[in-house]
Amino acid sequence: MTKVKNKENIKYALKYILLDFDIDEFVALDIYDIERALRTNDQVLISMVNEILQKFKKEITEPGVYEFILGFAKDNTPLLYKELKNLKQSKNKKF
Express each pLDDT in 56-93 by its tens digit.
999 999 999 999 999 999 999 999 999 999 987 775 55
Task: Taking each helix axis as running N to C, give the angle between helix 78-92 and helix 65-76, from 0 to 180 degrees, rounded to the nearest 10.
Answer: 150
Q: What percent of the chain has pLDDT over 90?
A: 82
Structural domain boundaries enclosing 56: 4-92
pTM: 0.86
Burial of residue 39 (CB within 10 Å: 0-12, 13-18, 19+) is middle
Query: Taking all residues of the chain, what is their mean pLDDT, rounded to a whole number?
Result: 90
Reference 41, options 81, 94, 1, 95; nearest CA is 1
Distance CA 44, CA 90 (A): 22
Count of domains for the chain:
1
Confidence (pLDDT) at 94 = 44
Distance CA 35, CA 80 (A): 6
